Amino acid sequence: MSDQLAVVLIAAAWSGAVGILGFLAGWWLRRTSLRWLPSGVALVAVSAVVAGVIGTSRAMFLSAHDFHVVLLVVLVAGVVAVAFAMLAGASVVRSSRSLHEDTKRFAESGTFTSLGGGPVEFQQLSDELTRTSRRLAESRAREVRLVKSRRELVSWVSHDLRTPLAGLRAMAEALEDGMAEEPGRYHTQMRTEVDRMVRMVDDLFELSRINAGLITLAVQTVALGDLVSEAIAAADPVARAHRVHLCGSVEDGLLVSVDPGGLSRVLANLMMNGIRHTTPGGVVEIVGRAAATEVELSVRDACGGIPTENLDRVFDVAWRGSQARTPDYGGGAGLGLAIVKGLVEAHGGRVEVHNEAPGCRFVVRLEA
């Protein structure tokens, strides 16, 4: 066996033994402070070198003087390495404690702000907690809006149901007492009020299915132009009654993969919303076109615009408008646009609203 191979084997044996002892010590101390980990690594590394030097000193034919010199050099280097490792460990511990305190404040206040500093991994964790804090704040804000919307919904629906029910009761009593001069007109009015309440209950049921994720889409590939034509034809009598002009255009051959019933409901709600809020003589226009990888369907009315501070509330449950969109209590409980948003999102799309003279423009974007 050559001298070099003997030196390698002896050094491997002595250093390996120290490495095994160091591993066992590290396993035993694994739950202690992170401060000691760098120091332990440096100490094991230096000890392995010292053990290798001691074990191979004879094989290397070192004199006692040379052996002591080498050992002294290794020990001095080891002291420097351990001291540096302790400083590095202390720095890591400070960063860890700072992150720990920030996390405690996060748990107490619900807000986390990254202060920077520390190792990259800690900084990445701090940045992720900051993003989580922002998402939680947005979630809390949405929850507050939802609770407010539910309260408004209960209040407004109660009012909208109480009014026709009171009217129905009065007309029924008049018919029972023989006080109705024109019973036929009373019957017609009662039927109208009942139909209105049925529509309101249907809207509530549809919205509850959407919010519960129980809506089932029967997706088909259909011509968008056919759906738009049918929607315009169905809404035309209402538009004529309000003296509003309906018009529309769709690019030739434009196909969409949607649930025909669901998209027809979206179109009907948007057009009825536009008709109700457009002044007599105004125009409600629907346009369908391909836009990059999307299909864009827009409905523009002449409502006079929506105040900027209310744009974010347009699709809230039971939102009924403001100064520029006077509530129409004959039009429902303010659920139509909330249903539109739910159906569009169920299709994997999104809906937006923008002010665009002389009114506003609702834009539905669906995947092509």
Please tell me the pTM assigned to this model. 0.56
Same domain, 73 and 187: no
Spell out a b/e string for 191-227, using b for 16 or more CB atoms within 10 Å of the CB, else e: eebeebeeebeebbebbeebeeeebeeeeeebebbeb
Question: How many structural domains are present in the chain?
Answer: 3
Residue 325 falls inside a structural domain: yes
Burial of 300 (0-12, 13-18, 19+ CB in 10 A): buried
Residue 120 falls inside a structural domain: no
Tell me which residue range forms the domain holding 17: 3-109
Provide the CATH number for the domain around residue 168.
1.10.287.130
Residue 152 falls inside a structural domain: yes
Same domain, 246 and 323: yes
Same domain, 227 and 350: yes
Same domain, 234 and 333: yes
Same domain, 293 and 207: no
Which of 194, 211, 228 represents a domain boundary (last residue)? 211
Residue 170 falls inside a structural domain: yes
Same domain, 198 and 266: no
Provide the CATH number for the domain around residue 289.
3.30.565.10
Residues of the chain predicted below pLDDT 50: 322-331
Same domain, 37 and 17: yes
Same domain, 352 and 269: yes
Write out the E strands in 253-302.
255-258, 283-291, 294-300
Same domain, 207 and 225: no
Same domain, 226 and 204: no
Same domain, 310 and 226: yes
* Residue 266 confidence (pLDDT): 92
Which of 211, 235, 261 represents a domain boundary (last residue)? 211
Same domain, 66 and 166: no
Using alpha carbons, select from 316, 290, 14 the residue that is nearest to residue 156: 316
* Residue 309 confidence (pLDDT): 80
Residue 75 falls inside a structural domain: yes
